[in-house]
Chain A
């Protein structure tokens, strides 16, 4: 068999693992600006290493070839010099890794929360029960039936918005109001295609009227700064604000009819 000179299998394995690691960092940290938590990256890399080793040792010859250079390093007397160097470096690296991983990092704990939790089928607000599967915006129909009236309703919604919501969600509905930087989690950006455009008006009514404390546990209700708006606004005002949110951003609410 004519064998071309090629990269030793051990080096191949190291290069593949390194390549995957660098791509992760480049993709998330540099390109997307979404830092991967260290613990998560460690877990991913564990799978990558395990997977690559499995592929490389799939055949007996493959495995032999892979560990060959390592065995040679230990057993071949002519490689004594390199062996001594490796035998110093490896324990030093192990010691250093142990030391740094035992030093506490004091990074804030990760908090994973669901931003758009699944809505309940029913909820209570304004002293009554609402059925989310049938709930509709009572003003939506005027969009076709009476456009002049609809325009007025949107305007009334805008007035409610600017007096109550803009502080966090912003004049431009981009989630960057004057108080937004003081909040964690940050307010939702309604201009974003991933927010109100993906939701039904009834979902918005539920989220607005019951606010942060009305969220299910997976959405971490204890940290949401969204007020419980049924304490401050009327039902009609909330429905009008919802009209305004869609009108200003030019988005359409999802509805059963359109699905």
Chain B
């Protein structure tokens, strides 16, 4: 090998090595401060105490760097010091499910290392951690490993105690952070909310270190009764990664709920197996911040909808994860949540008149010229069953309560393992077309949703999560019309071509 080639190879290998790893570079804290003062103080505060202007309007609250708690770190469970790479990664990639964005598009790499140095100085971390998480040899995910992990997850209530049997964090225990704030267990079926990604290696790390400042303990701690070996932790990590594979995931392209036409009766309960045959459509929900008392502390971020119809009725199945079944007056519900709790709820919003043009009613409860129908389901109290209300509104302030039973609006709900499932049915048409939407096949009907978690800051009234307008389509049964038309067209072509050929043959050759 010539020396030129050797140098080239060496350069190539070095480049490969540098690209493949985020090697800690010494950051300069003083430079980091300049960037911090411009970009970070708004939330994390001038002195890093997590007390910036936004502090009371963020859920989770901004990190208090003076506490020394680093939730996402890869140092040994007994050593709270984060690795520089851990802090760097959070700055570069951000934390999903929080207001912390990734900064790599606005800051240069060295800027971010400088920030690491400055941020760490708030808790006076000046030495690297003495010990790291021991990963042993990674066990690849397999049916066998997932099965073992599931057993360990459930065994002796190890993980189930907080995360629930289905991993949705359906609460059986009140949790709080070190600062006394109320915290809720992670819903493990929503991978997009994992602060440090749901890659099995990341999950292994969280299980091993625990999550600082919260009640999530380390399962590597030999002093823990629920301790897991390295191998066992890989199984649990593989299991947790497996339950995060859900079909109730938002697909931004899919903005249309397609209601299938069925013969015979529609399912009237959420448990009916017929629902399995229809495709779910999932939308993001966001807190209500456009009118009345604004809301910034949501617990839920998605809603999943299915719909079916027959020649008389339409049925919708609404599903959303809620860690608590909020029944005011119920002692179990009140044990988990901070009183006062309100009823859980969900609402469907539809225009009274299906728009012919682009114009729709205002997405926030309609407007003076374009009223909406709102079907508002509530979970009921200790002394009263679930209810469904029918509202006609022309904006937040002009709301008319109507008789739901009078138009045949009905609901049936089931709560289980951290999920509400509610079926709402209504006849396609009513006797008051000026007040009620009249459903018809093949039309694109604007539809929007809202949800309330009564155990989360007592969500009620204007405090709720919601979607913007999406579409509901009663998919027409196509029948045989396209096939017959296609055959006629093909026939006409054959006839035309033959006629042309014949007339050409009759013509004397030119």
Residues of A bordering B, CB below 8 Å: 71, 74-75, 83, 87, 90-92, 94-96, 98-99, 102-104, 106-109, 111-113, 158-159, 161-163, 166-167, 170-172, 174, 176-179, 181-184, 211-213, 217, 220-223, 225, 227-228, 231-232
Contacts known (A104-B476, A108-B256); A172 close to B106, Cβ less than 8 A: yes
B370 contact set on A, CB distance < 8 A: 222
B405 near A: Cβ within 8 Å?
no
B101 and A176 form a contact (CB under 8 A): yes
Q: Cα distance A90–B442 when bound, in Å?
A: 31
B486 contact set on A, CB distance < 8 A: 95-96, 98-99, 102
A87 and B106 form a contact (CB under 8 A): no
B138 near A: Cβ within 8 Å?
no
Contact with A along B240-271 (1 / 0, CB 8 A): 00000000001010011010000000000000
Contacts known (A74-B504, A87-B494, A163-B54); A102 close to B468, Cβ less than 8 A: no
CB distance from A2 to the nearest CB of B (A): 26
Contact with A along B351-381 (1 / 0, CB 8 A): 0000000111111000100100000000000
A87 contact set on B, CB distance < 8 A: 494, 497-498, 501
B255 contact set on A, CB distance < 8 A: 108, 184
**B15-23, B206-214, B280-288: which one contacts chain A?**
B280-288
Q: Cα distance A199–B468 when bound, in Å?
A: 27
B444 near A: Cβ within 8 Å?
yes
Q: Cα distance A44–B294 when bound, in Å?
A: 46
B493 and A172 form a contact (CB under 8 A): no
**Can you list 24 A-B contacts with CB-CB less than 8 angstroms, sorted by A residue number?**
A74-B500, A87-B501, A90-B493, A91-B490, A91-B494, A94-B489, A95-B486, A98-B486, A99-B482, A103-B482, A111-B358, A159-B53, A163-B54, A174-B106, A179-B287, A181-B250, A182-B468, A212-B290, A213-B367, A222-B360, A222-B362, A222-B363, A222-B469, A228-B290
Number of residues from B at the complex interface, CB < 8 A: 68
B258 contact set on A, CB distance < 8 A: 106
A108 and B444 form a contact (CB under 8 A): yes
Contact of A182 (CB < 8 Å), options: B99, B284, B483, B487: B284
Interface centre among B101, B252, B505 (most CB of A within 10 A): B101
A183 contact set on B, CB distance < 8 A: 286, 468
Q: Cα distance A137–B123 when bound, in Å?
A: 42
B476 contact set on A, CB distance < 8 A: 104
Q: Cα distance A217–B473 when bound, in Å?
A: 25
Q: Cα distance A149–B409 when bound, in Å?
A: 60
Q: Cα distance A8–B256 when bound, in Å?
A: 47
B106 contact set on A, CB distance < 8 A: 172, 174
Closest to B296 in A: A167
B301 contact set on A, CB distance < 8 A: 182
A231 and B500 form a contact (CB under 8 A): no
A98 contact set on B, CB distance < 8 A: 482, 485-486, 489-490
Contact with A along B10-50 (1 / 0, CB 8 A): 00000000000000000000000000000100110000000
B471 contact set on A, CB distance < 8 A: 108-109
B509 contact set on A, CB distance < 8 A: 75
B57 near A: Cβ within 8 Å?
yes
A91 and B491 form a contact (CB under 8 A): yes
A91 and B493 form a contact (CB under 8 A): yes
Q: Cα distance A181–B97 when bound, in Å?
A: 11
Contacts known (A95-B490, A167-B296); A162 close to B501, Cβ less than 8 A: no
B6 near A: Cβ within 8 Å?
no
B481 near A: Cβ within 8 Å?
yes
A74 and B489 form a contact (CB under 8 A): no
B504 contact set on A, CB distance < 8 A: 71, 74-75
A102 and B101 form a contact (CB under 8 A): no
Q: Cα distance A117–B15 when bound, in Å?
A: 49
Interface centre among B54, B367, B483 (most CB of A within 10 A): B54
Closest to B486 in A: A99
Residues of B bordering A, CB below 8 Å: 39, 42-43, 52-54, 57, 98-101, 103, 105-106, 250, 252, 255-256, 258, 283-287, 289-291, 294, 296, 301, 358-363, 367, 370, 442, 444, 467-471, 473, 475-476, 478, 481-483, 485-487, 489-491, 493-494, 497-498, 500-501, 504-505, 507, 509
B361 contact set on A, CB distance < 8 A: 222
Q: Cα distance A108–B370 when bound, in Å?
A: 21
CB distance from A169 to the nearest CB of B (A): 11
B53 contact set on A, CB distance < 8 A: 158-159, 162-163
A90 and B497 form a contact (CB under 8 A): yes
Q: Cα distance A176–B361 when bound, in Å?
A: 26
Q: Cα distance A92–B106 when bound, in Å?
A: 56
B287 contact set on A, CB distance < 8 A: 167, 179
CB distance from A86 to the nearest CB of B (A): 8
B442 contact set on A, CB distance < 8 A: 104
B363 contact set on A, CB distance < 8 A: 222-223, 225
A75 contact set on B, CB distance < 8 A: 504-505, 507, 509
Q: Cα distance A174–B107 when bound, in Å?
A: 14
Contact of B473 (CB < 8 Å), options: A106, A225, A228, A232: A106
CB distance from B153 to the nearest CB of A (A): 29
Contact of B359 (CB < 8 Å), options: A182, A184, A222: A222
Closest to B495 in A: A91
Nearest 3 A/B pairs, CB to CB: A95-B490, A182-B284, A102-B482
Q: Cα distance A227–B193 when bound, in Å?
A: 26
Closest to B395 in A: A213
Q: Cα distance A217–B361 when bound, in Å?
A: 12
B497 and A223 form a contact (CB under 8 A): no
Contact of B501 (CB < 8 Å), options: A74, A95, A163, A217: A74
Closest to B100 in A: A171
Q: Cα distance A128–B467 when bound, in Å?
A: 33
Interface centre among A95, A112, A220 (most CB of B within 10 A): A95
A171-B39, A222-B367 given; name 20 further pairs at CB < 8 Å.
A74-B500, A87-B497, A87-B501, A94-B489, A94-B490, A102-B482, A104-B442, A108-B471, A109-B471, A162-B54, A163-B57, A167-B99, A172-B105, A181-B252, A182-B467, A184-B469, A211-B290, A217-B359, A222-B359, A222-B370
